[in-house]
Amino acid sequence: MYKLAGSDPILAEFIQGGGEILRSEIHKPIDSTRNKEDLPDQWKESIIVPINKKGDETDADLYVHYGFMLMLDEDGLQKPQRFLYSRVFINEYMKPSKLREHLQIVHTQNAIEIEALLKTKYLIEKWDGEHLINVYNNLGKTALHEAAQNCCHRTVNYLLQHGADVNQIKRSDWTPLMLASTKLGSMALQTVHVLLNHEADPYIVNKDGWTALHIACKIGHCDIVKLLIENFPALVNIHSTNGRYPLHTASLNGHGSIVSLLLKYNSSAVSARDLCGVTPLMDSCQGNHDSVALVLLKCGASVTESDNMGLTCLHVAAQTGSCKVIRMLIEDFNIDVNLVASKSKFTPLHCAASTGQLEAVRMLLLQGADSKLKDGHGRQAQDVLCSGPKGKDILTVLREYDLCENKA
């Protein structure tokens, strides 16, 4: 008999020494639960984790199932108990947050993935569930969509072997391959491998015109991007419904290694403009990704080109408060700090002031920006300030700067 000493504290020796009378009393709540067929709530709260003993990881008979239950000690802290059938072992005392952290570290995604596979195999093989494989919910998601999104590559492979539609489209036109491409890590890469090996079509686009490559470029999974373009190089030439190429997406999100990889397969995309006239370089400036901007500039991107609103890279950087890029453009590429936008006649200082970018305003003034210059409607930077506290702070900075200029 195995008994864990609790906050009582009652040890196994006490139980053993209690004889038949004590054992009878202990069995009463157990018999009551069995007769009522209603488990106490505390008995229901556990985390079951299958642990492979050795051998084939897809064989359910080779698994031992451990459970984790929580019990309160006398200090009100939750302590996890790991149990295997009738045996109970104690871990150190933990608060709930520490317990969750412990379980996440000790029992990795691999254990969760194996459990998903075992459940899927049980439903299909023991309950004749093959007719459910391509059934979808109100979001249009099938079991394959769920498995792919959670990077359960073994489950994905099993479902595909049993007739799952590899290119099934859910609401918003997302395929399992697209969902797998939204994740990072080796499990995501393995899932994409499995889907492609089962002839997933990477050229399918969703409602926004994005392919799986666009999605991987946004997330920043370089290995998935490499896998896709090495096997399907034409993907780099597909743009979304608003004219954005994968290079736009990678540049905006600051993934320099992916940007370099994409340029090897389509160097002309460096000057591609979306429907708003935005280039990949402008996207990198918007995100304050100076290292990405340098890669694009070395590949021939134009630093003076403007979008449909007449804004250049410096205007965009000022508008979004991208101070690293502002400094780089002015000091390393000699861009005029007072460069005027072709349509609005905004200077970079106007752009920063109108969007509440206080640090960008300070940097532009230090770089020699003229606060007295007027836009196409005769307004100075202080006349186009954003509302709220940020606008007031910028106005204070502009006035202090003007006072210093007047004294000089």
DSSP codes joined into one string, 223-247: HHHHHHHHH-GGGGG---TTS--HH
Type of residue found at 258: I
As a whole number of angstroms, the distance between CA 362 and CA 318 comes to: 11
Partners of 338 in beta bridges: none
Buried b (16+ CB within 10 A) or exposed e, 148-163: bbbbbbbbbbbbbeee
65 three-state secondary structure = strand
Written in H, E and C, the secondary structure of 144-209 is HHHHHHCCCHHHHHHHHHCCCCCCCCECCCECHHHHHCCCCCHHHHHHHHHHHHCCCCCCCCCCCC
Backbone angles phi, psi at 73, to 5 degrees: -95, -175
Type of residue found at 108: T
Q: What is the pLDDT of residue 24?
A: 78
As a whole number of angstroms, the distance between CA 65 and CA 49 comes to: 6
As a whole number of angstroms, the distance between CA 144 and CA 127 comes to: 18
Q: What is the pLDDT of residue 90?
A: 34
Q: What is the pLDDT of residue 401?
A: 78
Local mean pLDDT, 10-residue blocks, the chain (408 residues): 48 69 76 69 53 58 52 46 35 42 49 66 70 80 90 90 90 91 92 96 94 96 96 95 96 95 93 95 94 94 93 95 94 94 92 93 93 91 85 87 61
Furthest-apart CA atoms within the chain: distance in Å: 100
Buried b (16+ CB within 10 A) or exposed e, 170-180: beeebbbbbbb
Q: Where are the domains of the chain?
A: 12-107, 108-201
Q: Any long-range contacts for 271-274 (C-beta under 8 Å, 24+ apart)?
A: 271/300, 271/301, 271/302, 271/305, 272/239, 272/243, 272/245, 272/247, 272/248, 273/243, 273/307, 274/239, 274/242, 274/243, 274/244, 274/245, 274/248
Record the tokens describing residue 292, joined without a space: 């990405």
Q: What is the pTM of this model?
A: 0.70
As a whole number of angstroms, the distance between CA 146 and CA 26 comes to: 44
Q: What CATH number was assigned to the domain covering residues 108-201?
A: 1.25.40.20
Q: 1, 2, 7, 12: which is closest to 71 by C-alpha? A: 7
Backbone angles phi, psi at 14, to 5 degrees: -65, -40
